[in-house]
């Protein structure tokens, strides 16, 4: 079990390695479970929980304002009281949406995260960020909402499609580059799969790293939390260019981490070879460069809209040496364009 403090001097919540049935047994009459249609197909037990069940369509498009409104209305139809709890059972989409619902209905009710995807286990379920997408951009409407607890439904990984497992691996590998090189050594020693013995240990280590980073900068004020964004400046821009259609988040940030390592090298901020960063992603079947030609002006246009930017130029979280990452400001977009054009041509 891992304890996560919610701010410097306040309460904390537990992240517990659990299984789906254990988590579902926690649900009481008056509680609400929000999940997606894939999970219900795989786990009929969801339909037998003691509380009310709300099922959304799987996929990023469910993190919309319209769907948020629809779910809120179902929550009130189900008669949720101030002392009822909301359980979000699923991947990051369910977690972000249900957490945002929990943070807003009745001005906030208790919320339990039950992550079932690798990405949700190692990243989105810990740290208290919840929210939805707007036509103007991803995750633009949200809140900080700490869960009552996180129940990591480790057994559910067995049914997670391989492409989503690999997607989550991109974030796992990220933790190695930004914080803990021993994680990189372990991931290099043998390809990690759902059945690998060290998987649980790796997930645990990632949660500990996320906890350490979040506890150092809960509300993203001093730049520490921004290191979790390594690869995400380029990655988010690639996702936006793709219109959030085919490119999965993990694929986008894998390409992004290689690109940002080239930027760090090009700017003289690191000696790390982009090829050595790429190697690990290739090992796990993740892409390391865009499939199609990229419109550099549009890409950099999206990067200039990144939430991390302050003042002139681009702000990016760059790895200086393996295991150390720093938020850099004032990076010249023209220079970035030429470095990426060289890398991808
Ligand atoms: N709040 C945060 O701090 C934070 C951090 C990172 C990512 N996110 C968000 O997380 C989302 C991505 O999360 P994701 O990759 O989990 O996506 P997701 O929730 O769409 O899940 C991926 C797919 O796997 C399916 N799935 C999940 N668990 C399953 C299981 N056990 N068995 C079978 N199928 C299963 C889902 O139905 C879906 O089709 C994005 O919206 C992203 O913005 C949030
Ligand atoms: Zn990410």
* Closest ligand 1 atom number to CA of residue 94: 19
Q: Are residues 57 and 174 in the same domain?
A: no
* Closest ligand 1 atom number to CA of residue 157: 31
Q: Are residues 190 and 221 in the same domain?
A: yes
Q: Are residues 240 and 339 in the same domain?
A: yes
- DSSP code at position 285: T
**pLDDT tens-digit profile of 9-27?**
567 899 999 899 999 999 9
pLDDT at 5: 79
Q: Are residues 117 and 233 in the same domain?
A: no
Listed in sequence order, the residues at least 6 apart from 73 whose beta carbon sits closer than 8 Å to its beta carbon are none
The fraction of the chain above a pLDDT of 70, given in percent, is 99
* Better-scored residue on pLDDT, 197 or 277: 277
pLDDT at 311: 86
Residue 185 is part of a domain; what is its CATH number? 1.20.1090.10
Which residue's alpha carbon is at the smallest distance from atom 16 of ligand 1?
A: 91
Q: How far is the CA of 105 from the centre of ligand 2 (A)?
A: 27
pLDDT at 139: 87
Alpha-carbon span 207 to 179, nearest angstrom: 12
Q: Are residues 68 and 149 in the same domain?
A: yes
Pairing of strands 137-144, 110-115: unpaired
- DSSP code at position 156: G
Task: Give the domain extent around 204.
Answer: 162-344
pLDDT at 244: 81
Q: Are residues 306 and 203 in the same domain?
A: yes
Q: How far is the CA of 87 from the centre of ligand 2 (A)?
A: 22
Q: Are 35 and 44 in contact (CB under 8 A)?
A: no
Q: Are residues 29 and 150 in the same domain?
A: yes
Give the end of a domain, one of 159, 174, 189: 159
pLDDT at 307: 86
Q: In what order do the strands lie in the sheet with 149-153?
A: 2-5, 12-18, 149-153, 110-115, 85-90, 32-36, 52-56
pLDDT at 223: 84
Q: How far is the CA of 168 from the centre of ligand 1 (A)?
A: 9
pLDDT at 28: 98
Which residue's alpha carbon is at the smallest distance from atom 21 of ligand 1?
A: 91
pLDDT at 6: 73
Q: How far is the CA of 61 from the centre of ligand 1 (A)?
A: 12
Q: Are residues 152 and 11 in the same domain?
A: yes
Q: Are residues 81 and 98 in the same domain?
A: yes
pLDDT at 7: 65
Report residue 217's pLDDT band, with 50, 70 and 90 as the boundaries: confident
pLDDT at 3: 82
Give the end of a domain, one of 108, 138, 159: 159
Give the end of a domain, one of 121, 138, 159: 159
pLDDT at 9: 56
pLDDT at 255: 98
Record the tokens describing residue 17, joined without a space.
């390695």
Q: Are residues 219 and 260 in the same domain?
A: yes
* Closest ligand 1 atom number to CA of residue 96: 1
Report residue 191's pLDDT band, with 50, 70 and 90 as the boundaries: confident
pLDDT at 161: 97
Which residue's alpha carbon is at the smallest distance from atom 11 of ligand 1?
A: 92
Ligand 1 surroundings by CB, under 6 angstroms: 36, 38-39, 42, 58-60, 63, 90-94, 96, 116-117, 119-120, 123-124, 127, 129, 139, 156, 159-160, 164, 167, 249
* Better-scored residue on pLDDT, 218 or 87: 87
Instruction: Say if residue 29's pLDDT is above 80.
Output: yes
pTM of the model: 0.94
Q: How far is the CA of 298 from the centre of ligand 1 (A)?
A: 27
Residue 85 is part of a domain; what is its CATH number? 3.40.50.1970
Q: Are 286 and 251 in contact (CB under 8 A)?
A: yes
Q: How far is the CA of 268 from the centre of ligand 1 (A)?
A: 36
Alpha-carbon span 298 to 146, nearest angstrom: 36
Q: How far is the CA of 48 from the centre of ligand 2 (A)?
A: 33
Q: Are residues 110 and 229 in the same domain?
A: no
Instruction: Say if residue 235's pLDDT is above 60.
Output: yes
**pLDDT tens-digit profile of 255-302?**
999 999 999 999 999 999 999 999 999 999 999 999 999 999 999 999
pLDDT at 138: 82
Which residue's alpha carbon is at the smallest distance from atom 30 of ligand 1?
A: 160
Total domains present in the chain: 2
Q: Are residues 155 and 244 in the same domain?
A: no
Instruction: Say if residue 233's pLDDT is above 60.
Output: yes
The end-to-end CA distance of the chain, in Å, is 47
Concatenate the DSSP letters of all residues of 188-242 into one string. HHS---TT-TTHHHHHHHHHHHHHHHHHH-TTS-SSSGGGGGTTHHHHHHHHHHT
* Mean model confidence pLDDT for the chain: 94
The whole-number average pLDDT for the span 99-128 is 97
Instruction: Say if residue 245's pLDDT is above 70.
Output: yes
């Amino acid at each position: 079990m891992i304890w996560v403090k919610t701010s410097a001097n306040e309460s904390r919540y537990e992240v517990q390695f659990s299984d789906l049935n254990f988590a579902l047994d926690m649900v009481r009459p008056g509680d609400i479970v929000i999940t997606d249609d894939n999970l219900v197909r795989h786990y009929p037990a969801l339909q037998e929980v003691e509380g009310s069940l709300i099922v959304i369509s799987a996929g990023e498009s469910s993190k919309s304002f319209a769907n948020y409104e629809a779910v809120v209305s179902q929550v009130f139809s189900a008669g949720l009281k101030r002392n009822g709890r909301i359980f979000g059972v699923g991947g990051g989409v369910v977690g972000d949406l249900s957490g945002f619902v929990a943070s807003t209905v009745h001005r906030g009710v208790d919320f339990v995260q039950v992550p079932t995807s690798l990405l949700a286990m190692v990243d989105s379920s810990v740290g208290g960020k919840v929210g939805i997408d707007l036509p103007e951009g991803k995750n633009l409407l949200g809140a900080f909402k700490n869960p009552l607890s996180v129940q990591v439904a480790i057994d559910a990984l067995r049914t997670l499609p391989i492409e989503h497992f690999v997607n989550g691996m991109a974030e796992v590998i990220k933790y190695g580059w930004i914080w803990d090189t021993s994680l990189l050594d372990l991931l290099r020693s043998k390809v990690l799969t759902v059945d690998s013995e060290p998987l649980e240990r790796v997930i645990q280590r990632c949660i500990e790293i996320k906890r350490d980073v979040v506890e150092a900068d809960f509300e993203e004020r001093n730049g520490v939390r921004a290191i979790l964004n390594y690869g995400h400046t380029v990655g988010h821009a690639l996702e936006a260019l793709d219109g959030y259609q085919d490119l999965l988040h993990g694929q986008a940030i894998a390409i992004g981490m290689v690109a940002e390592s080239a930027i760090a090298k090009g700017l003289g901020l690191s000696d790390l070879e982009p090829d050595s960063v790429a190697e690990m992603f290739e090992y796990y079947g993740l892409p390391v460069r865009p499939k199609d030609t990229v419109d550099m002006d549009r890409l950099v246009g999206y990067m200039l809209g990144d939430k991390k930017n302050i003042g002139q130029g681009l702000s990016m979280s760059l790895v200086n040496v393996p295991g150390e990452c720093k938020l850099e400001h004032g990076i010249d977009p023209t220079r970035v364009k030429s470095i990426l054009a060289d890398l991808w041509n």
